[in-house]
A and B are shown apart, each in its own frame.
Chain A
Amino acid sequence: MSTTNVIGKSITRPDAYDKVTGGKKYPVNYTLPGMLHMKILRSPYPHAKILSIDTSEAEKLKGVRAVLTPDEVPKKYFTPVYFVPYNAPSMVQDFILLSDTVRWAGQPVVAVAASSEDIAEQALELIDVEYEELPTVFDPEEAMKDGAPQLHEASPNNIAKNPSFEFGDMEAGFEDADHIFEGVYETQRAHTCYMEPRVCVADSDTDGRITIHSSMQHTFGLREKLAVALDIPESMVNVVKPTYIGGGFGGKLDIGFIEGLAALLSLKTGKPVRAEHSRGEDFISTTRNPIKVYLKTGVKKDGTYTARQIKSILDCGAHATHGSEVIMVHGLYGTFFPWKCPNQIWEGFTVYTNNMIGGGYRGYGAPQGCFAVESQNDEICETLDLDPIEFRLKNTHREGDPHPVLEGHKLASYKIEECLRQGAERIGFDKRQAAGSAEGVKKKGIGFAVHPLWVSGCVGFPDIYEHSGATVKLNRDGTADVISACVDLGSGQISMLTAVVAEELSLSADKVRIVYADTDTAPFDAPTHASRATYSAGLATKAAAVETKKRLFKAAAAVMEANADDLVLEDGKVMVKGVPESAVPMTDIIARAESPFIQVGEQGPAPTTIAEKGTIIGTASQAPPSNPSPVGAQFIEVEVDTDTGEIEVLRVVYSADVGQVIHPNSAEGQVEGGFQQGMGYALMENLQFDQETGACLSADFLDYKIPTAMEMPSNIESIFIDSHEPTGPYGGKSMSEMCLIVPAAAIANAVYNAIGVRITELPITPEKVLKALGKL
């Protein structure tokens, strides 16, 4: 690849200065004069019928402007997930803003808008709701049984979805096996813990048009879902893209309740309405779905897979929402296709319970799958005394193989062997001791996990939006404006888009600005999710910059009296290729293109000469060409205190093929931050609920623990394998989710190596360790 201007060079993040001086542009800071504040009354019961609601006392409270009850909400059931159509056949349409049946403790019942937050909160206490309690079920396997309490009429036995895949001959496959391994692997609810709460300000025009600011991951998804929730045409909603948000990680990937309720209250009052979740509300609004995986694998003595049977039970809570897609991604990309096995069957169940609803979360079903498969792979290697690296390589795809899911595509960049070998070398894997052989109370162990198949977007998934678009505009001062609906979650989309445009237009990064965008003015872009922004939004934005350059060359050709095809752009100058003395500053060309038709010069008025008048602008809207797989392996050293069960992570090495790294500093940041979330998932994070009342027991950071700087290992080492994805922007692929798919399995395997006992249920708490050691 030729020398690049900014790609691969870690430009200073364009958003960093603003963020270190106070960060003005978070949605949480957005206010409008005269705006009202909304609060939500939530159900204390996990399953009940609402018999009556009396809001009369609340409405009398001074400062209360409007109250919204289930009667006033359009009776339209839809899918709230941003990245699929609201009525996508592959999803379940069971979601509504307010209902007269509550199915989880915390479900919104009434919304109040008042002149202050305090008054809105006081008003909630004056609302009288009469409930008839209904029987509850919290365990998905109980919920599937005949006679269990039913949550939704349309779903007998509470099964919202039941997809399956199969190929080969299962019977022959297991017969062919020398050994059969069976295990059950369970994962818990984990919260994304974005730091900025879900927040929005909805405003309505006199014609009923809504403008909304919100902390979310998808501008166009919010437009579509809000229009559906309000039962108005899509064009009656304008969503303003937040300049940046305070984290998302998948937790802001669906319209929750606040946007719809605030918009309805704005329509009702004619005032802007602001709503902000408390941290407690955030904790019960989105979660990684817990999945229980029954895994049976047949292998030959030499470690070759012969057959694999997988059953996955996903607890989606009271509404299917993401649960109907997470199960698919978990099945296809989390368990079924990453590994090469000739005979496989997978069956998934998305099951309703009276638990909180699930959400998106970085990795989307794959961490649960990886934990199961890689735990069992470790077990296979231990039992059959196989080299764990060679075992993985024997059963994974290799570079150049056909893509296991996308017909007609291949794994063009796929350096799995290098990932495994370089990671193993860095951690000193060949020196690891036999499992459980360490001496003393504190025992060290090394383990690893690899996830051999992931995505750079959603090409190939049914019903999922994928296209991206952008407009790039050159200004007379030599700067470029980029209009893109792609939201920066903090994971560096601003830097990435800036780098792509700077590279394409030969500008320094400080000449490129990602500017205001809303759904009225920007081309559609799918959400920032599914590790797709670099690949899909990056490619579309690059294409827009190419269009801009073409237009620049047309104008330049007229000014320079040259052939547009012969022109090149270097250091802000247009020149005929190979003729440096022909160089004209780009700013001159832009000025000429945008000048008045007749310009007054020293010799008086004269017509400008060029025909190519107008703004130098380019737009692209396109689907990405493929869905290349990033791949990564994580090696971990832990120390287990066998008296207390406490686990300390000492060292982390992550080696990955993400194609050409666009912004190395941000790429490392993804690995390091992904590990914080993965380590929390592995060791401590757990959204817990009272099994009788359904009340959340971990609704703040006192009870929902995530790693602080003290628990984190002092060094997380990233190795990026030299690689180039032919279909990617400048050879790049996406990477974010991979960093969180592998840690739990890698830590579990390291813990096994330390103590010689395997823990198959996350989180691996000190208590579980002691139990496993037989000390409790």
Chain B
Amino acid sequence: MALTSVQSFYSPEDSKAVIELLDKHEDSALIVAGGTFLHGLVSRGLLSGIEALINIQKLGLNKIDISSDAINIGATTLLGQLKNCPEVKEQAWLGAIKDAMEYPPTQIMNSGTVGGSISSSCPFFDFPVSLLALDGNVQAEGSSGSRDIPLEEFFAGLFENSLGSNEFVTGVRIPVPAGSTTSAFIKMETNANDLAIINVAVCLSMSGTGDCEQARVFLGGGVGESPVRSPSAESALVGTKVDEEAIEKAGEAVLNDLDPLSDHRASAEYRKAMGKVLLKRALASAMQRLS
């Protein structure tokens, strides 16, 4: 199936031009980069009425800037670039991203972009869940300027987000945590080229004495129309050493915050049970990473 309604394919070279095009075409324009998600929608007949495609790959957004307080990842940074970034490979606190980048096959790593993964607002993706655990922000640009949107406030249901009509995602920003922080991500999939049946990302900040000061726990996959946070699991972890007992309690606690979907890939009951198992494994993996 082809997206035959498309009349124009633009490759503007600055954001001003992008915004002008978004203004001009309104709802009939779509931002593209790698094209993977777009094609997924088209082949399932989920997209219609699109007349203009705006390719943002020439905006120079395919770069990762690292400063002492944040990592800025441009929207058109390829997942593969992110995977090969030395910080992602080495830093324990970025472990959730490192883990998430282990799953996609080569072809997706070479086409899929950070911005696309976020702005498509698909609850079955992996990177957004790992980024939620790391308290990432979305950077957006529009006619009224640029702004940072906390990722937690960004997702607004299946394929929906809080972007304004002429806004687009230019990158994500991850604040560098103070102290000793570790994170991990785990996904359940049927084969190696799959959307998550369920996935879990955790981020733990530990004090000098080994107590958990802050915990962020997010789950995606078929848990809802957007990824969900588990405050119950987080509070079961804060103040503990995240030892076996605390992990077990967090596993029980996460069930309070889960009301997943039943579909042809898994039942809600199974997803819920796996939320617990995967969370426990992710926590163990994050702690392992710290040691």
On whether A and B touch (CB less than 8 Å), the answer reads yes
Within 8 A of A (CB), among B265-286: 265-267, 269-270, 273-274, 277
- Are B1 and A767 closer than 8 Å at their CB atoms? no
The smallest C-beta distance from B200 to any residue of chain A, in angstroms, reads 12
- Are B277 and A705 closer than 8 Å at their CB atoms? no
A122 in the interface, Cβ–Cβ < 8 Å? yes
Within 8 A of A (CB), among B247-280: 263-267, 269-270, 273-274, 277
- Are B277 and A643 closer than 8 Å at their CB atoms? yes
A698 in the interface, Cβ–Cβ < 8 Å? yes
A463 in the interface, Cβ–Cβ < 8 Å? no
For the complex, what is the distance from the CA of A708 to the CA of B105, rounded to whole Å?
Answer: 11
Interface with A: B66-74, B153-161, B184-192, which one?
A: B184-192
- Chain A residues with Cβ below 8 Å from B192 are 708-711
For the complex, what is the distance from the CA of A698 to the CA of B43, rounded to whole Å?
Answer: 13
For the complex, what is the distance from the CA of A8 to the CA of B246, rounded to whole Å?
Answer: 62
- Are A705 and B273 closer than 8 Å at their CB atoms? no
B129 in the interface, Cβ–Cβ < 8 Å? no
A716 in the interface, Cβ–Cβ < 8 Å? no
Which partner residue on chain A sits nearest B192 by CB separation? Answer: A710
- Are B191 and A711 closer than 8 Å at their CB atoms? yes
For the complex, what is the distance from the CA of A684 to the CA of B266, rounded to whole Å?
Answer: 12
The smallest C-beta distance from B219 to any residue of chain A, in angstroms, reads 15
- Chain B residues with Cβ below 8 Å from A776 are 269-270, 273
For the complex, what is the distance from the CA of A700 to the CA of B273, rounded to whole Å?
Answer: 27
Q: Annotate B129-149 by CB proximity to A: 1 below 8 A, 0 otherwise.
A: 000000000000000000000
Which partner residue on chain A sits nearest B5 by CB separation? Answer: A122
Query: If the complex has contacts A121-B4, A701-B193, are A770 and B273 also in contact, measured as CB distance less than 8 A?
Result: yes
The smallest C-beta distance from A344 to any residue of chain B, in angstroms, reads 38
B194 in the interface, Cβ–Cβ < 8 Å? yes
- Chain B residues with Cβ below 8 Å from A118 are 2, 4
For the complex, what is the distance from the CA of A770 to the CA of B270, rounded to whole Å?
Answer: 8
For the complex, what is the distance from the CA of A653 to the CA of B270, rounded to whole Å?
Answer: 33
The smallest C-beta distance from A394 to any residue of chain B, in angstroms, reads 39
A589 in the interface, Cβ–Cβ < 8 Å? no
A707 in the interface, Cβ–Cβ < 8 Å? yes
- Are B188 and A644 closer than 8 Å at their CB atoms? yes
A688 in the interface, Cβ–Cβ < 8 Å? yes
- Are A710 and B191 closer than 8 Å at their CB atoms? yes
Which partner residue on chain A sits nearest B280 by CB separation? Answer: A643
A57 in the interface, Cβ–Cβ < 8 Å? no
A278 in the interface, Cβ–Cβ < 8 Å? yes
For the complex, what is the distance from the CA of A643 to the CA of B273, rounded to whole Å?
Answer: 9
B82 in the interface, Cβ–Cβ < 8 Å? no
Q: Which residue of B4, B267, B277 contacts A767 across the interface (Cβ within 8 Å)? A: B267
Which partner residue on chain A sits nearest B3 by CB separation? Answer: A118
For the complex, what is the distance from the CA of A234 to the CA of B40, rounded to whole Å?
Answer: 43
Which partner residue on chain A sits nearest B48 by CB separation? Answer: A125
B238 in the interface, Cβ–Cβ < 8 Å? no
Which partner residue on chain A sits nearest B188 by CB separation? Answer: A644
Q: Annotate A682-725 by CB proximity to B: 1 below 8 A, 0 otherwise.
A: 00100010000000011011110111111100000000000000
Which partner residue on chain B sits nearest A705 by CB separation? Answer: B190
Q: Annotate B86-124 by CB proximity to A: 1 below 8 A, 0 otherwise.
A: 000000000000000000010000000000000000000
Which partner residue on chain A sits nearest B263 by CB separation? Answer: A697
- Are B1 and A278 closer than 8 Å at their CB atoms? yes
For the complex, what is the distance from the CA of A706 to the CA of B192, rounded to whole Å?
Answer: 10
- Are A644 and B277 closer than 8 Å at their CB atoms? yes
- Chain A residues with Cβ below 8 Å from B274 are 644
**Residue of A706, A708, A766, A767 most packed against chain B (CB within 10 A):** A767
For the complex, what is the distance from the CA of A702 to the CA of B277, rounded to whole Å?
Answer: 24
- Chain B residues with Cβ below 8 Å from A767 are 266-267, 270
- Chain B residues with Cβ below 8 Å from A121 are 1-2, 4
A421 in the interface, Cβ–Cβ < 8 Å? no
The smallest C-beta distance from B123 to any residue of chain A, in angstroms, reads 14
Within 8 A of A (CB), among B159-193: 188, 190-193
The smallest C-beta distance from B6 to any residue of chain A, in angstroms, reads 11
A60 in the interface, Cβ–Cβ < 8 Å? no
Once A and B bind, how many residue pairs between them come within 8 Å at the CB atom? Answer: 53
- Chain A residues with Cβ below 8 Å from B44 are 700
- Interface size (A, Cβ < 8 Å)? 29
For the complex, what is the distance from the CA of A700 to the CA of B195, rounded to whole Å?
Answer: 13
Which partner residue on chain B sits nearest A701 by CB separation? Answer: B193
- Chain A residues with Cβ below 8 Å from B194 are 702, 705
- Chain B residues with Cβ below 8 Å from A9 are none
For the complex, what is the distance from the CA of A413 to the CA of B263, rounded to whole Å?
Answer: 49
The smallest C-beta distance from B106 to any residue of chain A, in angstroms, reads 12
For the complex, what is the distance from the CA of A644 to the CA of B194, rounded to whole Å?
Answer: 17
- Are A703 and B4 closer than 8 Å at their CB atoms? no
The smallest C-beta distance from A641 to any residue of chain B, in angstroms, reads 9
- Chain A residues with Cβ below 8 Å from B265 are 703
- Chain A residues with Cβ below 8 Å from B1 are 121, 278
**Residue of B2, B191, B265, B277 most packed against chain A (CB within 10 A):** B191
- Chain B residues with Cβ below 8 Å from A700 are 43-44
Query: If the complex has contacts A644-B274, A700-B43, are A707 and B191 also in contact, measured as CB distance less than 8 A?
Result: yes
Within 8 A of B (CB), among A116-140: 117-118, 121-122
For the complex, what is the distance from the CA of A412 to the CA of B283, rounded to whole Å?
Answer: 61
For the complex, what is the distance from the CA of A766 to the CA of B189, rounded to whole Å?
Answer: 11
A775 in the interface, Cβ–Cβ < 8 Å? yes
For the complex, what is the distance from the CA of A767 to the CA of B270, rounded to whole Å?
Answer: 6
The smallest C-beta distance from B37 to any residue of chain A, in angstroms, reads 12
- Are A684 and B2 closer than 8 Å at their CB atoms? no
Query: If the complex has contacts A697-B264, A767-B267, are A705 and B43 also in contact, measured as CB distance less than 8 A?
Result: no
For the complex, what is the distance from the CA of A775 to the CA of B277, rounded to whole Å?
Answer: 12
The smallest C-beta distance from A248 to any residue of chain B, in angstroms, reads 23
Q: Which residue of A703, A708, A710, A766 contacts B264 across the interface (Cβ within 8 Å)? A: A703
The smallest C-beta distance from B158 to any residue of chain A, in angstroms, reads 16
Which partner residue on chain B sits nearest A768 by CB separation? Answer: B270
Which partner residue on chain B sits nearest A441 by CB separation? Answer: B277
Query: If the complex has contacts A118-B2, A708-B192, are A698 and B277 also in contact, measured as CB distance less than 8 A?
Result: no
Which partner residue on chain B sits nearest A689 by CB separation? Answer: B264
For the complex, what is the distance from the CA of A707 to the CA of B192, rounded to whole Å?
Answer: 8
Within 8 A of A (CB), among B1-58: 1-2, 4, 40, 43-44
Within 8 A of B (CB), among A754-773: 766-767, 770
- Chain B residues with Cβ below 8 Å from A698 are 264
The smallest C-beta distance from A770 to any residue of chain B, in angstroms, reads 7
Q: Which residue of B2, B105, B188, B191 contacts A705 across the interface (Cβ within 8 Å)? A: B191
- Are A684 and B191 closer than 8 Å at their CB atoms? yes
The smallest C-beta distance from A588 to any residue of chain B, in angstroms, reads 56
The smallest C-beta distance from B255 to any residue of chain A, in angstroms, reads 13
For the complex, what is the distance from the CA of A706 to the CA of B277, rounded to whole Å?
Answer: 25
Which partner residue on chain B sits nearest A711 by CB separation? Answer: B191
Within 8 A of B (CB), among A261-289: 278, 280
- Are A706 and B2 closer than 8 Å at their CB atoms? no
Which partner residue on chain A sits nearest B274 by CB separation? Answer: A644
- Chain A residues with Cβ below 8 Å from B264 are 688, 697-698, 703
- Chain B residues with Cβ below 8 Å from A117 are 2
For the complex, what is the distance from the CA of A770 to the CA of B272, rounded to whole Å?
Answer: 12
- Chain A residues with Cβ below 8 Å from B191 are 684, 705-708, 710-711
- Chain A residues with Cβ below 8 Å from B273 are 770, 775-776
Which partner residue on chain A sits nearest B269 by CB separation? Answer: A776
Which 4 interchain pairs have the tightest Cβ spacing?
A: A710-B192, A705-B190, A767-B270, A697-B264
Given contacts A280-B43, A646-B188, 13 further A-B contacts (CB under 8 A): A117-B2, A118-B4, A121-B4, A643-B277, A684-B190, A702-B40, A703-B264, A708-B191, A710-B191, A711-B191, A766-B188, A767-B270, A776-B273
What are 26 A-B interface contacts by the 8 Å CB criterion? A117-B2, A118-B4, A121-B1, A121-B2, A280-B43, A644-B274, A646-B188, A684-B191, A688-B264, A697-B264, A700-B44, A702-B194, A703-B264, A703-B265, A705-B190, A705-B191, A707-B191, A708-B105, A710-B191, A711-B191, A711-B192, A766-B188, A766-B270, A770-B273, A775-B273, A776-B270
Q: Residues of A with Cβ closer than 8 Å to B?
A: 117-118, 121-122, 278, 280, 643-644, 646, 684, 688, 697-698, 700-703, 705-711, 766-767, 770, 775-776
